[in-house]
Copies of this chain bind each other. A is one copy, B any other.
Amino acid sequence: MQYIQIKEMILEQIDGGMLLPRQKLPSERVLALSFNTTRITLREALSLLETEGRIYREDRRGWFISPLPLRYSLKETFDFTQMALSQARLPKTECLGAKCVLADQRVLALLGLAPFSTVHCLERLYYLEGRVVAYGVHYIRADCFPHLLKQDSGSTCEKNCLDHVSPFYKETQYQISARALFGLMASRLRATSGSLGLRVERIHSNQEGKKLDVEIEYWRQDAIKLEFHLSLE
Contacts and interface: CB of A to CB of B under 8 A. Distances in A.
Given A51-B196, A194-B51, A76 B174 contact: no
B176 A178 contact: no
- For this chain, the copies found in one complex come to 2
Nearest to A48: B194
A57 to B, nearest CB: 14
Nearest to A182: B4
A170 B229 CA distance: 11
Interface centre among A176, A179, A232 (most CB of B within 10 A): A176
Interface stretch (A60-68, A78-86, A115-123, A219-227): A219-227
A135 to B, nearest CB: 18
Interface of A: 4, 40, 48, 51-53, 69, 74-76, 169-180, 193-196, 198, 221, 225-232
